[in-house]
A and B are shown apart, each in its own frame.
Chain A
Amino acid sequence: MDKLKPHDMSRPPAEQLASLDHLMPLPPPYDKQDMEPGLKPVKDTWRETYCTSLDGFVGNDNLKRPGSKSEEEEFINKFLSGLDKLFARETNSGFLTPFNLAFEYCARCGVCSEACHVFQASGGKEVYRPLFRSDTLRRLYKSYKKQGRPAARFTGGSVGINAEALLRLGELAYRCNLCRRCAQTCPLGLDNSVIAREIRALFSMEMGMAPTLLHERGTVLQLKTGSSTGMNKNAFLDNIEFIEEDLYERLGKKYKFPIDKKGADILLIHNAGEFLSWPDNPAAFAILFTEAGLDWTMSSELAGYDAVNYGIWYDDAQARKISLAQRRAARELGVRRIVIGECGHAHRAAAVSSDRLAVGEDNIPRESSFPILQDIVRSGAIKFDPLRNNFPVTLHDPCNIVRSMGVVMPQRQILRALCPQFREMAPHGVNNYCCGGGGGFAVMRNMNFPEWEMKVSARMKFKQILEAFQDKIEDPTIPKYICAPCSNCKGAFRDMLNYYQATARFNVQYGGIVELMVNAMAMFDRPYFEWLEEF
């Protein structure tokens, strides 16, 4: 048994608390030696600047070591001041109830550990146990509030408050995908992910320490340019033009994306990463919505063409500002409803997380695109030929859409109708496992963090994929498709399939759901998937 305890978090920086040995085994063909890449060593300069003393990886690149004694003192004081703010109704009104409940009532029964893919995939490393993180925060708080008193030790306040403990805690907040699978199993209905999220919020909103790719080059960039990709209005319009031309070349039919159409029924917002990384996805939406005769538009206004809202992972202030900017774009167009494309966290941010942040004119209905897509299939408005998708297809359930929003069946009904070889992963639906990129990990490409993501947080999903395709996995002539109707999940799959070379070796492909739909459209005489033309 791993002997690590929460009070070990305050050990000296030279001691690394965990390392990635003895990870959860993977099924065939990845059970053989050398199928999995080895780990790269941690650079010494990183050890000096960042906190690598948790597990050797750097998730939060803005969490830098204090340089002097006075900086260390300031660092600790800021943390403690932020800690108080987490418990104050004036500063944490939106999360006060879930946070307090999770903080106060945990029975430490350990059920959450069984449900956590990070803990399980790591081979049961104590540091990744959900309870380890939440209990460290509890013990720090008790140590802080009951300094020196016997009651501190009696109630668990045994963690020494030093900079190293806080740095490690700040890193540890980014070892949880915020997938909430643990909360589903808690016998008291408590949510460990809310504690991880609140630690992130404390570091961001009080100490200004959030990962660059979530903050400066994420939400800040989105509020400045209109998109977290840095794509401004002109670049967006150029991209659309390019996609339109590409579609015409490939399909021989002209499709026009309606932009800034006043009074349209639907404002369709995609994760802007789609335009750059997976342009076939917004293109497929345009084909389907146009052919189905929907009255829709896209916005070229600030945040109106990017549905992402990284704020929901780490910072309430940023989440609120982005959400309101998106609502404003919709209001200015006078649309009746906002429809979110294939992006999981954007679904939840728009429909659920921001639901109680706007009223009146800004209170515009938001919905998932999946039921609309399901209606297109059901209605017969478009003729589909399912045999065009006659290859093994499995479905990844994005946590934010399924577990946190309850959209489970529409995407399945589409796949059942259009993919003859559809098979479920186990487990699936609301019991699914995270892709490994949840909670911002798919975006955090800094230093060696992607390596941790691939080795640990994406490991359970990779195992599920191998199991779902086990009958065909070793035959590279058969394409195997992971339907991942979420941009960040797709980012995680792209990196996963590349890291494990599963596409190159075994022809495992990935993409969204609309691409499958267009691929099955009878009116086109060639496949929508270019990789399908190779076979």
Chain B
Amino acid sequence: MLLAVFMYTAVTAFVVFSLGKARQYARHPLANRWELYPVPGEPGVSYGGSYYEEAEWWTRPRQISRAGQYGAVLQEMLFMKSLFVNQRKFWWFSYPMHLGIYLLGLFTLLLLAGAVTEMFGMPLTASDGVSSHTWAALVYWATAVAGFAGIFLTTCGSAALLINRVADGTLRKYTTGAEYFNLFFILAAAVSGLVAWSTDPGFNYNRGVVAAMLAFAPVRAGLPLTVHLVLFGALLIYIPRTKMSHYIGKYFAYHKVLWDNEPNLKGSALERIVEKNLVNRPRDGWSSPHTKSTETGKS
């Protein structure tokens, strides 16, 4: 039961800490505009143009392509396009790890689907192998492929990133102990997953763990799986407290800084927020005398 409680705690901590981090940034005061072109969704995105390219831009309806925005987000999320374009070598190390993590997310959903399927009386396996039922077989094989690919890619990627950081003199110079530890932690969790997989290639025990958690029943797992679950759970608790929570940071970096070119038009909702901000702006924070003065030279 202890393992089950730990896993509930880990998942809850991941969600709560991640939301907490997002909330921390979401509660920041409205930032000064600091956009950087190209901004996806702008008509001139192919060369980096903006609405400022038209005379009297504020008199024209803004043209924003939501499809363009979502497309850019997806390219960045799914393929890490920026890294691919600007630092190909690093992409070859980093992308497998991230793709592996995405696949492990999918794997978790498939485990959930498999556990629910079995709870409804349709086992994924039969005494002679995989169930002959199409849905059950599909879930079984999809879980097996996503799970193995996810663990394998995460292991390779994190190992490559770790080795690269140690081997590359420039990276080594700037890498902190915490950053080595982060990569090592991911690698350890992934390797333990590989070991657990070697004893259970169909991930049947993993599915059993999910089923037990859904039923609030004690989790039963062998030593390899227990070690993996402990490491994985600890990683879930740890990630949101570190800069590995960049899945949150990146959202704010793009949507609230680099791509936020919403103009403060007279009478707009944004102007009302700006007004509120200006009213609440503290006026006595910095120490240099010139910051105390509101004098603009005009009497």
Contact = CB atoms under 8 A, between A and B. Distances in A.
Interface in B84-132: 85-87, 90, 94
Contacts of A114: 86-87
A188 B261 contact: no
Contacts of A187: 80, 82-83, 86-87, 94
Interface string A297-340: 00001110000000000010110011011001000000001000
B77 to A, nearest CB: 12
A359 interface: yes
Given A337-B56, A359-B271, A189 B285 contact: no
A26 interface: no
Contacts of A206: 286-288
Contacts of B39: 406
Contacts of A390: none
Given A111-B87, A406-B44, A371 B250 contact: no
A156 B181 CA distance: 12
A191 B257 contact: yes
A430 interface: yes
A224 interface: yes
Given A317-B291, A325-B298, A180 B33 contact: no
A358 to B, nearest CB: 8
A323 to B, nearest CB: 9
A1 B167 CA distance: 14
Interface stretch (A38-46, A94-102, A275-283, A438-446): A94-102
Nearest to B282: A90
Nearest to B297: A223
Given A184-B36, A208-B289, A356 B246 contact: no
A226 B47 CA distance: 37
A467 B58 CA distance: 39
Given A188-B249, A356-B30, A407-B52, A321 B295 contact: yes
B49 interface: yes
Interface string A330-363: 0000000100000000000001110111111001
Contacts of B295: 223, 321
B134 interface: no
Interface hub of B39, B181, B250, B270 (most chain A Cβ within 10 A): B250
Specify the main secondary structure of chain A where it touches its partner.
helix
Interface residues of A, number: 99
Interface stretch (B63-71, B169-177, B221-229): B169-177
A409 B44 contact: yes
A298 to B, nearest CB: 18
B34 A405 contact: no
A246 interface: no
Contacts of A322: 296
A278 B94 CA distance: 51
A11 interface: no
B52 A406 contact: yes
Nearest to B34: A98
B286 A205 contact: yes
A109 interface: yes
Contact of A1 (B51, B170, B285, B297): B170
A135 interface: yes
Interface in A73-105: 78, 81-82, 85, 88-91, 93-98, 100-101, 104-105
A162 interface: no
B28 A78 contact: no
Interface string A104-121: 111111110011000000
Contacts, number: 267
B243 A408 contact: no
Interface residues on B, range: 35 or more
A127 to B, nearest CB: 12
A475 interface: no
A352 B169 CA distance: 40
B176 to A, nearest CB: 4
B31 A355 contact: no
B285 A367 contact: no
Interface in A39-72: none
Contact of A88 (B30, B181, B285): B285
Contact of B169 (A1, A321, A337): A1
B246 A107 contact: yes
Contacts of A199: none
A189 B297 contact: no
Interface string B33-57: 1111111001010011111111111
A131 B51 CA distance: 33
B290 A317 contact: yes
Contacts of B177: 153-156
Contacts of A224: 297
B116 to A, nearest CB: 36
A205 B178 CA distance: 33
Interface in B4-52: 25, 28-39, 42, 44, 47-52
Nearest to B270: A356
B252 A97 contact: yes
A318 B94 CA distance: 43
Given A114-B87, A183-B36, A368 B52 contact: yes
B75 interface: no
Contact of A91 (B54, B85, B256, B282): B282
A81 B264 CA distance: 33
A268 interface: no
B296 A408 contact: no
Nearest to A226: B297
A127 B238 CA distance: 33
Given A104-B249, A156-B176, A370-B53, 16 more contacts: A93-B31, A95-B31, A96-B28, A98-B34, A108-B179, A187-B86, A187-B87, A189-B250, A191-B34, A191-B36, A206-B287, A302-B296, A303-B297, A367-B57, A407-B53, A409-B53
Interface of B: 25, 28-39, 42, 44, 47-58, 80, 82-83, 85-87, 90, 94, 169-171, 173-179, 181, 243, 246, 249-250, 252-254, 256-258, 261, 263-266, 270-271, 274-275, 277-278, 281-282, 285-291, 293-298
26 contacts: A82-B287, A96-B29, A100-B25, A105-B249, A154-B177, A156-B178, A184-B36, A189-B82, A190-B253, A191-B36, A205-B291, A207-B287, A321-B294, A325-B296, A325-B297, A352-B33, A355-B33, A356-B270, A359-B274, A363-B266, A367-B55, A371-B54, A406-B44, A406-B49, A406-B53, A408-B37
Interface of A: 1, 5-6, 78, 81-82, 85, 88-91, 93-98, 100-101, 104-111, 114-115, 131, 135, 153-156, 180, 183-191, 194, 204-208, 215, 220, 222-226, 301-303, 315, 317-318, 321-322, 324-325, 328, 337, 351-353, 355-360, 363, 365, 367-368, 370-372, 374-375, 402-410, 429-430
The 8 closest A-B pairs by CB, nearest first: A406-B50, A430-B48, A189-B253, A91-B285, A156-B176, A94-B32, A93-B29, A187-B83
